[in-house]
């Protein structure tokens, strides 16, 4: 037997003698890749990086974010679902790419309930309807009138079919009964830069991304997507109270591993996540960005599994009823 084979045989037999629990305790022994299926600088990326930084300290190994944007997040999710289930490739993604887009694609390259192991919820985000600074409409009523009058030239930004910004925009457009041109991006990070420079008219995006630009006066907020106003934007009405009754969209984001990842590894990752979510500095930072921080019982793998199913049950029929044709 060649020396290399002798070594791997010796390593295998040594490992065979080690109970699974002890092997998981050794995990992780090298950096972990966390796939974010959207461009850098957007909401999914921002939330992933805040949590990964603290989780890296807890696990004693770096969690390295890899942005794999495109096709509304489906390219990145498919890459994570196909990765080796050894705990060294994870996914941080939201309910758009995992639940809503089941209604929007004829054929998805993954089954979010079968191909992924839930690790834990990272946070739930309200959305905000934001418009370019010089759009003439000053409130939601004027906005609806403006978009109706300008249907041929009005444009809204979004991060691809099935993105959160797509869901937010299509529910809004469906309630306004308008058909408006979509401007797709690999993420709402780059889309936001273009809204600030006035290259399209509006976007519905997660507060975590848009709050700093609203507060700096570079874009204007006309409504929030929750049924309660946000403490960070007390003067901005909810879209529901401002006239589009029943409009309500919030976006959850969570960590997942490829199917087949061991329970021990999932538990270790979950424990790191729950520690990060309990950290006072992280909680303060997330709360400033309007992220609803999950309680430990809301951040378990089983809670995330149930949340995924509930989102599929709620949004797939809702989006189908809005008349959007799958592609």
Q: Which of 205, 249, 274, 282 lies at the binding interface for ligand MLT (CB under 6 A)?
A: 205
253 touches ligand MLT (CB under 6 A): no
201 touches ligand MLT (CB under 6 A): no
Nearest residue relative to ligand MLT (C-beta) = 42
CA triple 319-324-327, angle to 5 deg: 115
58 Cβ neighbours under 8 A, 6+ residues apart: 271, 272, 275, 276
Shortest Å, Cβ 163 to ligand MLT: 3
Strand partners for 117:
257
228 Cβ neighbours under 8 A, 6+ residues apart: 238
- DSSP H stretches of helix in 181-237: 188-196, 207-215
Between CA 282 and CA 284 the distance in angstroms is 5
User: Which residues ranging from 122 to 161 are in contact with ligand MLT (CB under 6 A)?
Assistant: 159
73 Cβ neighbours under 8 A, 6+ residues apart: 37, 38, 44, 93, 94, 96, 97, 101, 159, 160, 162, 163
Cβ nearer to ligand MLT, comparing 38 with 252: 38
Shortest Å, Cβ 71 to ligand MLT: 12
Cβ nearer to ligand MLT, comparing 206 with 225: 206
Shortest Å, Cβ 116 to ligand MLT: 17
Q: Name the one range near ligand MLT by CB under 6 A: 50-58, 186-194, 215-223, 227-235.
A: 186-194
Instruction: Please give the residue ranges that form the binding site for ligand MLT (CB under 6 A).
Output: 38-39, 42-45, 96, 159, 163-165, 187-189, 205-206
């Amino acid at each position: 037997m060649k020396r290399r084979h002798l070594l791997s045989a010796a390593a295998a037999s040594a490992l065979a003698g080690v109970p699974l629990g002890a092997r998981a305790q050794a995990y992780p022994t090298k950096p972990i890749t966390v796939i974010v299926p959207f461009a850098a600088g957007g909401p999914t990326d921002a939330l992933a990086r805040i949590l990964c930084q603290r989780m890296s300290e807890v696990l004693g190994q770096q969690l390295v974010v890899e942005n794999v944007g495109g096709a509304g997040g489906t390219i990145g999710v498919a890459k994570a679902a196909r990765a080796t289930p050894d705990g060294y490739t994870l996914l941080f993604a939201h309910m758009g790419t995992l639940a809503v887009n089941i209604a929007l694609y004829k054929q998805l390259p993954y089954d979010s309930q079968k191909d992924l192991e839930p690790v834990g919820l990272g946070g739930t985000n309200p959305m905000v309807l934001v418009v370019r600074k010089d759009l003439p409409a000053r409130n939601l009523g004027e906005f609806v009138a403006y978009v109706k009058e300008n249907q041929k030239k009005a444009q809204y930004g979004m991060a691809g079919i099935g993105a959160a910004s797509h869901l937010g925009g299509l529910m809004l457009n469906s309630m306004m009964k308008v058909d408006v041109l979509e401007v797709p991006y690999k993420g709402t990070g780059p889309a936001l830069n273009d809204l600030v420079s006035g290259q399209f008219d509006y976007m519905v995006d997660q507060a975590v991304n848009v709050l700093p630009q609203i507060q700096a006066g570079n874009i204007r907020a006309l409504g929030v997507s929750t049924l309660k106003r946000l403490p960070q934007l007390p003067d901005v009405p909810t879209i529901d109270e401002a006239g589009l009754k029943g409009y309500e969209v919030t976006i959850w984001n969570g960590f997942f591993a490829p199917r087949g990842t061991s329970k021990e590894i999932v538990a270790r990752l979950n424990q790191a996540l729950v520690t990060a979510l309990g950290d006072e500095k992280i909680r303060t930072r997330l709360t400033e960005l309007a992220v609803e921080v999950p309680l430990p019982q809301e951040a378990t793998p089983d809670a995330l599994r149930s949340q995924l199913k509930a989102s599929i049950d709620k949004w797939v029929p809702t989006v189908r009823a809005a008349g959007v044709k799958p592609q």
